[in-house]
Structures are given as structure tokens and as C-alpha cells.
With several copies, the nearest count.
Chain A
Amino acid sequence: MKVRALFFASYREIMGGAEFDVDLPDGATVSDLITLLRGRSDAASVLPSDPAVAVNRSYRTSDALLADGDEVAVIPPVAGG
């Protein structure tokens, strides 16, 4: 399956891009995706191993199962207001 990973703010700078399409095996979780993303480059290894993540615009825990076509945003600590 394929998911779209989105990055914002400092994570966008770390990853060198705002979004990537990522191929994952069926049954992959949020945690699996993060592991894969952190292995993408030396810079990417700076990404936390358990960041906040939103799947299809709702926060989800790291053990949440992903599905084909999901939009998975890796959310840096928020600083609105």
C-alpha cells in the first residue's frame, strides 16, 4: 500500500520536503512508517522515534494501523496562539 507523509515546520526542514509518498507493507502501523522515514537519510534520523502523528487529520497513537491512501502528518510540537 501507499501512504502520503506530510511534514511541517522544523520537520519539513529535517526531511527536506513537505510531503513524500511512501510504500508500506499491508498491516503497517504509524510506528513502522516513522522507522522507515527516519532511515531515509542522516538528516531524517533526527526525527523523534515517537512523534505526534495525525492520520487523515486526526491524532492517532503510534500503534494505529495504516491503510492505502492515508494522509499521515508528522506533527512537531505545536506552538499556536
Chain B
Amino acid sequence: MMSRARITTEPIEPQALLAGVGDPSRGAVILFLGVVRNHNDGHGVEGIRYDAYDEMARGTLEEILVEAEERYGVGHLAAVHRVGELGIGEVSVAIAVSSAHRAEAFDASRYVIEEIKVRLPVWKKERFEDGTSEWVAGKQPEVSAEGGA
């Protein structure tokens, strides 16, 4: 069985992720997709390269899913982050959640993407239309004394 927390160089297939969280007892399903867009802060973007600390990122993503389950009591989550060269319109991250009720499905989905943004060891470099490229300014992970972010 495919792991529910993945870092991949392959194109993300949202339909497969959705199928993975399906369950007859779950009435609400939410799929969140992050998509490479053609602009950022007024610059025309041609594509993005995502790099990850692969060996750590998979574990961190799994941790985030476990936290979302525990906080919101949702049963089924799956998430995948793509790395490598991505073009405009390609999916960089996908999160699928299913739950008996919609409120916690929304909360869990939101939690996962917010945590990804502040602690998943992934970086991106934008390629602009003028031929230049630049690492996107990110978020400094907050590290607590007990370990973990």
C-alpha cells in the first residue's frame, strides 16, 4: 500500500489521493491542491523548482497528519508534496481528508497546509519570465526545546 505521506518527483494524481481516503462512514471529503501559478508579488513566473530534505520531509509530513487526526478527530488523511521542476498549472501539493462531518474536515485540511508551510523542509526557486531565478523567501521553522517544530 502506498504511504499516506509522500514526497515525490512524479506528477500528483488527485483522484488517486481522493480514492485513498474514501470510506463508507465518511460523509465529507476535502481535497486541497496547491498549484504553480503564473505570478508572484507582481513577477511573471515561468516555473518553480522544488527541493526537499527528502529523508526528513516524509517523516515531518506524517507527523503533521497524525497531529491533524488527533486535534480534529478525523479518520483519513493523505498528503503528497512534489519536488523537482514544475510548470505553471502543475500541482505541487495535495491534501485529502475524509471525515464523518464537514467542520473537522475543513479544520484538518487547513491545519495540514498551514503546518506544511511553516515546517516541512521544502524550498522553491522561481524561474521568472526575464530568465532570472530566485529562492522564494520562506518561513523560519519554530523549534521548541523538546524537539519537533
Measuring CB to CB, which residues of chain A are less than 8 angstroms from any residue of chain B?
Answer: 6, 8-10, 51-54, 57-61, 64, 73, 75-81
B76 within 8 A of A: no
24 contacts between A and B (CB under 8 A): A8-B123, A9-B135, A10-B123, A52-B141, A52-B149, A54-B53, A58-B56, A61-B143, A61-B144, A73-B53, A75-B121, A75-B141, A78-B121, A78-B122, A78-B139, A78-B141, A79-B122, A79-B136, A80-B50, A80-B57, A80-B81, A80-B116, A80-B120, A81-B93
A10, A53, A75: the one within 8 Å of B135 (CB)? A10
List the A residue with the shortest CB-CB distance to B61.
A80
A73, B59: Cα distance in complex, Å: 15
Residues of the A chain whose Cβ atoms lie less than 8 Å from the Cβ of B81: 80-81
Once the chains bind, are B118 and A79 in contact (CB under 8 Å)? no
Measuring CB to CB, which residues of chain B are less than 8 angstroms from any residue of chain A?
Answer: 34, 50-53, 55-57, 59, 81, 92-93, 113, 116-125, 135-141, 143-145, 147-149
Residues of the B chain whose Cβ atoms lie less than 8 Å from the Cβ of A64: 147
Once the chains bind, are B117 and A75 in contact (CB under 8 Å)? no
Given contacts A78-B119, A79-B124, 11 further A-B contacts (CB under 8 A): A52-B141, A58-B56, A58-B147, A59-B143, A73-B121, A75-B121, A78-B117, A78-B138, A79-B136, A79-B138, A80-B120
Q: When A52-B143, A76-B138 are in contact, do A9 and B119 touch as well, CB less than 8 Å? A: no
Once the chains bind, are A57 and B55 in contact (CB under 8 Å)? yes
A34, B97: Cα distance in complex, Å: 39
Residues of the A chain whose Cβ atoms lie less than 8 Å from the Cβ of B124: 79-80
Residues of the B chain whose Cβ atoms lie less than 8 Å from the Cβ of A77: 137-141
Residues of the A chain whose Cβ atoms lie less than 8 Å from the Cβ of B141: 52, 59, 75, 77-78
List the B residue with the shortest CB-CB distance to A51.
B140
With most chain B CB atoms within 10 A of its CB, the pick from A57, A80, A81 is: A80
With most chain A CB atoms within 10 A of its CB, the pick from B55, B56, B136, B144 is: B56
Residues of the A chain whose Cβ atoms lie less than 8 Å from the Cβ of B147: 58-60, 64
Once the chains bind, are A81 and B117 in contact (CB under 8 Å)? yes
A75, B122: Cα distance in complex, Å: 9
